Amino acid sequence: MSGGSSATVGSVFGSDEQGDVDVDVLRWIDLARLVLREERVPSDAEVSVIFVDERAITDLNERFLGGDGPTDVLAFPMDGDVVPPGRQPDQGGRGPGSTTDAGEPPSVLGDVVVCPSVAGRNAAEHGRAADDEIALLVVHGLLHLLDYDHADDEEGAAMRRREAELLERFREAGPRSPG
């Protein structure tokens, strides 16, 4: 899938909003689902993995993170402010004719935004395949949504170890399975 395609599988939404690099959105959705399962994230949690061009990621990087120029991956965790069930603004039930209580809203973890063209350049610099770099970026972004960080050496080492473990599990799982 490339250049404007999207899909939702399970609790992961994937979208390819760029046309510079062919991206197998379903493969990366499978990887995201694996990460969520391995991290024991509740099954109702939702996440988006979005592939964008350099112009879009530069804009996001500058507007939201104060960065300069394009980057390879950005993670945008959602706030903890989840809208309670029920009608708004009084949250007083589901309304006339409703016989059941509203269920809990799904927890939205956030968005991972990847730039495949920057990933391709990084892959060449690191001597690895572009798909391996994209896989690393998807995992890296998802781990950021799950509160992993690399602000200090100890945190960084723990995050890199977890990335390696998850990528190995993905390689062991082999090609995408249906559904």
Provide the b/e sequence for 129-140 (b: ≥16 CB within 10 Å): ebbebbbbbbbb
Average pLDDT rounded to a whole number, residues 155-174: 96
* pTM to 2 decimal places: 0.81
Nearest one of 74, 58, 53, 46 to 2, comparing CA atoms: 53
Rounded average pLDDT over 74-102: 56
CB 10 within 8 A of CB 16: no
21 has pLDDT over 60: yes
Torsion sign, CA atoms 8, 13, 17, 20? negative
Within 8 A by CB and 6+ apart from 79, the residues are none
Q: Residue 5: what pLDDT?
A: 74
Contact 14, 7 (CB under 8 A): yes
Structurally, what CATH architecture does the domain formed by 5-79+106-173 represent? 3-Layer(aba) Sandwich (3.40)
Closest CA to 131 of 123, 143, 121, 139: 123
User: Residue 179 above 50 pLDDT?
Assistant: no
Residue ranges of the domains in the chain?
Answer: 5-79+106-173
